[in-house]
């Protein structure tokens, strides 16, 4: 029998992969991956909904006053088709890289759908990136076209280097110098474009990921990466989609967590996605926004949740429309997990993955998978283990490296123009993560720390996560990060950096109180021998603590 075309598969539809709500064991036993031989993201996230329900909301774009502008699936398809024609007229062909440098808003999904329709490769760039970060990614990827706004243009012009492959820049804010206005670029284009058929392995998007050494590497993904994410999204949102679901994340849609955990799955399932661009996370505003627009499903990174813990009595003041709350990107920790149950009245479903192979571990209270201090269990369809350096699996309770077995639909195709780095990512068929973890008898996997974050002190290997969990239980501590400081006697000493809650002032008495708090609750070898008070924690654009920046302070100061 001939294989079905993309259009034929789309006509049949592809629904939730986990099936009806059930226990983890039941879902695991019945799970099967769909046939991804023919799969185009745009066909499933745009075309099928536009054909069936053109008036269905796709994006709810919020203004500063929380007023809502709706982008329907019909409008999404019409504009994406026009943009696809315009890109093709500009010479963009299958496999060409097209960069998107925009904050959350309607233009982002339109650009993604148009690029996928052509068979080109989307290169999402975070709106908070600086000129050097943007310039490097454009150079390395060989992007031929950039869609941005006035803020992105200013950063591009501030980049001192050349971007020789970049032929055209389009600005949604109108013509500006060499940049062509978006509306003019689309002028005269027809509203129907036939989405190109492609395989699940065909390149679709590339997201740059930073390692511990060297420049960022472009993780290239095929169209199948979206299907690979679906069971994990369904799991940590307790069987998404459900009636009236509405999803939001503060994470930039250029990051894997924002794009592949929220925007594209939301579009796939026909769940309205809330777009709310802002520069700095405001916990009070986040609670107010979710209440105002009835957000039912949220993905908020752990650092954002820790900031939200400082909001007094949020459920009473704002109401609690949330049905599911997910978190990932770094360790959630027991205190924040318990706060979710107590203050919000719902569990926080933690998940885990990397840009190269995302969303492979998850929790789900609805499936009976929820344990404080543990990430969760393998998402159905993914083989995850904790391994030793030789690739053998660790015994229960033994620390090792978290790894994912190939083949896997969510796994990257490879690093862009870096075959050696791609090969180094694997031990046999295990894709290594650089994250230390351990597995318990029930199959839960706990996160210990990054390989480069693990502290060696007096012969002990100490993960920072447990100490940071303990630190934020102190009444004065808002955020905490723990790193190792070089020490001639102990190799390294545990050093804590903390930001304080309002009403507390730094001082030696408070530092000693914090040290004693950890020493009494953990152990003598884990308490921070030094406590540094800082006004602001260094965070990535995705809300992760940049421990490397804190470690660099030691070399800069000579201390």
pLDDT level of residue 6 (50, 70, 90 thresholds): very low
Rounded Cα distance, 130 and 159, in Å: 9
In 472-537, which residue ranges form alpha helices assigned H by DSSP? Answer: 508-521
Query: What's residue 8's pLDDT?
Result: 33
Query: What's residue 211's pLDDT?
Result: 54
Query: What's residue 542's pLDDT?
Result: 66
Tokens in use for 226?
């979206």
Rounded Cα distance, 276 and 333, in Å: 27
Q: What is the mean pLDDT of the chain?
A: 91
Does 213 have pLDDT greater than 70? no
Q: What is the pLDDT of residues 269-307, one digit of tens each?
A: 999 999 998 777 899 999 999 999 999 999 998 888 988
Query: What's residue 5's pLDDT?
Result: 34
CB atoms within 10 A of CB 244: 11
Query: What's residue 400's pLDDT?
Result: 95
Does 491 have pLDDT greater than 90? no
Q: What is the pLDDT of residues 153-174, one digit of tens each?
A: 999 999 888 999 999 999 999 9
Query: What's residue 61's pLDDT?
Result: 97
Rounded Cα distance, 207 and 259, in Å: 10
Q: Please name which of 362, 377, 359 lies closest in space to residue 256, comparing C-alpha atoms.
A: 359
Query: What's residue 461's pLDDT?
Result: 61
**Which domains, ranges and CATH numbers included, belong to the chain?**
36-279 (3.40.50.12780), 280-351 (3.40.50.980), 375-450 (2.30.38.10), 453-557 (3.30.300.30)
Query: What's residue 13's pLDDT?
Result: 57
Does 514 have pLDDT greater than 80? yes
- Token pair 């020789």 is found at 164
Does 493 have pLDDT greater than 60? yes
Does 229 have pLDDT greater than 70? yes
Find all residues with CB under 8 Å of 251, minimum gap 6, and list them.
257, 258, 261, 262, 299, 301, 329, 542, 543
pLDDT level of residue 9 (50, 70, 90 thresholds): very low
Query: What's residue 488's pLDDT?
Result: 77
Question: pTM for this structure?
Answer: 0.85
CB atoms within 10 A of CB 13: 9
Decide: residue 213, CB within 10 A, 0-12 exposed, 13-18 middle, 19+ buried: exposed
Query: What's residue 497's pLDDT?
Result: 97
Does 206 have pLDDT greater than 60? yes
Percent of the chain with pLDDT over 90: 76
**CB-based burial, 498-521: b 16+ in 10 Å, e otherwise:** bbbeeebebeeebbeebbebbbeb
């Amino acid at each position: 029998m001939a294989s079905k075309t993309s259009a034929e598969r789309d006509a049949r539809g592809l629904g939730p992969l986990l099936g009806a709500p059930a226990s983890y064991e039941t879902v695991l036993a019945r799970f099967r991956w769909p046939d991804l031989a023919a799969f185009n993201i745009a066909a499933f996230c745009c075309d099928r909904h536009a054909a069936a329900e053109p008036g269905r909301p796709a994006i709810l774009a919020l203004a500063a006053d929380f007023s809502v502008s709706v982008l329907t699936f019909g409008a999404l398809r019409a504009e994406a088709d026009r943009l696809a024609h315009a890109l093709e007229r500009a010479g963009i062909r299958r496999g060409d890289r097209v960069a998107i440098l925009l904050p959350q808003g309607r233009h982002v999904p339109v650009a993604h759908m148009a690029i996928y329709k052509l068979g080109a490769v989307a290169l999402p760039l975070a709106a908070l990136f600086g000129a050097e970060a943007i310039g490097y990614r454009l150079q390395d990827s060989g992007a031929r076209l950039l869609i941005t706004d006035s803020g992105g243009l200013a950063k591009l012009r501030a980049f001192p280097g050349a971007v020789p492959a970049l032929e055209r820049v389009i600005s949604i804010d109108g013509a500006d110098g060499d940049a062509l206005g978006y509306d003019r670029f689309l002028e005269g284009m027809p509203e129907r474009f036939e989405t190109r058929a492609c395989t699940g392995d065909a390149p679709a998007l590339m997201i740059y990921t930073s390692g511990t050494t060297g420049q960022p590497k472009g993780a290239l993904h095929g169209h199948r990466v979206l299907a690979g994410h679906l069971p994990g999204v369904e799991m940590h949102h307790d069987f998404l989609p459900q009636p009236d679901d509405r999803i939001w994340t503060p994470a930039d849609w250029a990051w894997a967590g924002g794009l592949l955990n929220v925007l594209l799955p939301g579009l796939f399932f026909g769940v309205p996605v809330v777009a709310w661009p802002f520069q700095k996370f405001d916990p009070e505003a986040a609670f107010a926004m979710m209440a105002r627009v009835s957000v039912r499903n949220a993905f908020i990174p752990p650092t954002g949740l820790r900031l939200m813990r400082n909001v007094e009595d949020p459920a009473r003041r704002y109401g609690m429309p949330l049905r599911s709350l997910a978190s990932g990107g770094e360790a959630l920790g027991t205190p924040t997990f318990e706060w979710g149950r107590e203050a919000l009245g719902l569990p926080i479903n933690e998940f885990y993955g990397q840009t190269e192979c995302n969303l492979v571990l998850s929790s789900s209270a609805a499936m009976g998978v929820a344990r404080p201090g543990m990430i969760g269990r393998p998402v159905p369809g993914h083989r995850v283990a904790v391994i030793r350096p030789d690739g053998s699996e660790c015994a229960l309770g033994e620390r090792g490296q978290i790894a994912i077995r190939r083949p896997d639909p969510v796994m990257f195709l490879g690093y862009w123009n870096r075959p050696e780095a791609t090969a180094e990512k694997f031990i046999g068929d295990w894709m290594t993560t650089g994250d230390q973890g351990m597995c318990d008898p029930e199959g839960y996997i706990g996160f210990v720390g990054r390989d480069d974050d693990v502290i060696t002190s007096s012969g002990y290997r100490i993960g920072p996560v447990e100490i940071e969990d303990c630190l934020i239980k102190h009444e004065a501590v808002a955020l905490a990060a723990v790193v190792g400081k070089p020490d001639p006697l102990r190799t390294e000493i545990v050093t804590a950096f903390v930001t304080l809650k309002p009403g507390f002032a730094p001082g030696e008495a408070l530092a000693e109180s914090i040290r004693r708090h950890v020493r009494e609750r953990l152990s003598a070898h884990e308490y921070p021998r030094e406590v540094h008070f800082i006004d602001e924690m260094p965070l990535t654009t995705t809300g992760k603590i940049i421990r490397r920046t804190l470690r660099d302070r030691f070399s800069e100061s000579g201390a």
